[in-house]
Amino acid sequence: MAVTATDTHRTIDAIWRIESPRLIAGLARIVRDVGVAEDLAQDALVAALEQWPRAGVPNNPGAWLMATAKHRAIDYFRRNTLLERKHAELGYELESDQRAAAPDLDAALDDDVGDDLLRLMFTACHPVLSTEARAALTLRLLAGMTTDEIARAFLASEATIAQRIVRAKRTLADKHVPFEVPRGQDRASRLASVLEVIYLVFNEGYTATAGDDWMRPALCEDALRLGRILAELTPHEPEVHGLVALMEIQASRSKARTGPTGQPIVLLEQNRARWDFLLIRRGLAALERAETLGGSRGPYVIQASIAAVHARARLPEDTDWARIVRLYDELVAQLPSPIVELNRAVAVGMADGPRAGLAAVDALRTEPALKGYHHLPSVRGDLLAKLGRLGEAGEEFERAAALTRNARERDLLLERARACR
């Protein structure tokens, strides 16, 4: 059967998804500029799109792309005469690579791949950038997503996302952000930024903020992949393993979270036989790894511990809600937040009854941060319904429906409001 150009283009697209992060990371180490590194990698991609449909996909496509990009890097340095010394170094490196056999070339490229990817993560997630810019740049450089894909994932225009990425790269260059893994206290603060971005991407995939879909599984998969890479690159960081554990366990419920027509199914109504127990085992193993490292438990480890309580309950009524309340108490002490308090109130309602839960929720009704947060009236409506105050519950569900920007969630809330009537 003949291989068509379309087949080759699909193969190139798949290869690019896999190879582009380490390609850009390796080039950034050489040129010390993330924007230039991505441009060089894109040039190599264009060359592949031109040559591979005719000549066939090489046996070692990653090495081919890197060698091609290095040729482009030599041209780049030639255009920048102030960097002649670097040009000479790179030219010598390329000549050595060309003399080596292909497997040896690949081994040479892999030498620093772990360090390079870690440097790229810390650079793309630098606090000098806004959270939105960090997320867009991370998905672009480390997940291999196109600008259009990122725009669709976050329901923004392609022009907005493109501008966000261009500005982010320009800011990194203008601020002379070094392409390096920070040390000491700076590393701890920067690691928190990296984790925040991965968590943001996962959450947007797990429960979409807006649009017609309840979930965006591709974003969950990209966040999980980034988290797993980070865990291998920073094996002694408990919070990294805690975040991976949290994502693995949450992702295990994906198939059970939607019905046949895509409608949302809340946790206590899910068919737990549809949970992915391989992901649960991986998540529990990551949590154990985090706890084995010792030290005080951070927010991601605590949240993973909460997820683990749900994962270990074969039936909803087996859930240890008292333990979940205690874990939320621990989380509130470390990460005081009205949203964490609201989640704790849900657990209180399950552990101590809806009246106690409602009291905890009502204590949060004047919180400015929750003013437009649709989960506040949604949780309140659920507790009121359990107390038999159906008229008030219906009003709360309608209020929540008016606040959410997700069409699937709006339908669910309006359905619950109708049931109360």
| pLDDT reported for residue 106 | 43
- What is the tens place of the pLDDT at every residue in 47-106? 999 999 888 889 899 889 989 988 888 888 777 654 555 555 555 555 555 444 334 434
| pLDDT reported for residue 96 | 55
**In-domain check, residue 40:** yes
If you average pLDDT over residues 285-294, what whole number do you get? 96
- What is the tens place of the pLDDT at every residue in 332-364? 999 999 999 999 999 999 999 999 999 999 999
At 246, the amino acid letter reads L
CA–CA gap between residue 241 and residue 305 (Å, rounded):
12
Q: Is the pLDDT of residue 232 over 60?
A: yes
| pLDDT reported for residue 112 | 45
Domain with 91, as residue range(s), is 5-111
Give the residue among 19, 117, 17 at the shortest CA–CA distance from 66: 19
Question: How open is the CA angle 284-288-289, to the nearest 5 degrees?
Answer: 115
At 163, the amino acid letter reads Q
| pLDDT reported for residue 104 | 41
0.95 cut: is pTM over it? no
**In-domain check, residue 47:** yes
| pLDDT reported for residue 107 | 43
| pLDDT reported for residue 87 | 54
**In-domain check, residue 12:** yes
Range with the lowest mean pLDDT among 130-139, 341-350, 382-391?
A: 130-139
Residue 142 parent element (H or E): helix 131-142
| pLDDT reported for residue 310 | 98
If you average pLDDT over residues 135-146, what whole number do you get? 86
Most confident of 146-150, 171-175, 216-220: 171-175
**In-domain check, residue 80:** yes
Give the residue among 19, 21, 95, 85 at the shortest CA–CA distance from 58: 19
**In-domain check, residue 62:** yes
Q: In terms of pLDDT, which residue wins out, 277 or 179?
A: 277
If you average pLDDT over residues 31-49, what whole number do you get? 90
Give the residue among 246, 262, 178 at the shortest CA–CA distance from 213: 262
| pLDDT reported for residue 182 | 83
Q: Is the pLDDT of residue 128 over 70?
A: yes
Q: Where are the beta strands (DSSP E) in 165-313?
A: 210-211
Backbone torsion region of residue 349, taken as left when φ is above 0, otherwise alpha when ψ lies between -120 and 50, otherwise beta = alpha
Q: In terms of pLDDT, which residue wins out, 135 or 17?
A: 135
Look at the block and give the residue holding tokens 């090489």.
58
User: Treating both helix axes as pointing N-terminal to C-terminal, what angle do 375-386 and 354-362 enclose, rounded to 10 degrees?
Assistant: 150
| pLDDT reported for residue 224 | 93
**In-domain check, residue 273:** no
Percent of the chain with pLDDT over 70: 90
Range with the lowest mean pLDDT among 129-143, 240-254, 310-324?
A: 129-143
CA–CA gap between residue 352 and residue 157 (Å, rounded):
46
If you average pLDDT over residues 202-209, what whole number do you get? 85
CA–CA gap between residue 247 and residue 257 (Å, rounded):
15
If you average pLDDT over residues 387-393, what whole number do you get? 97
Domain count, the chain: 1
Q: How many CB atoms lie within 10 A of CB 255?
A: 13
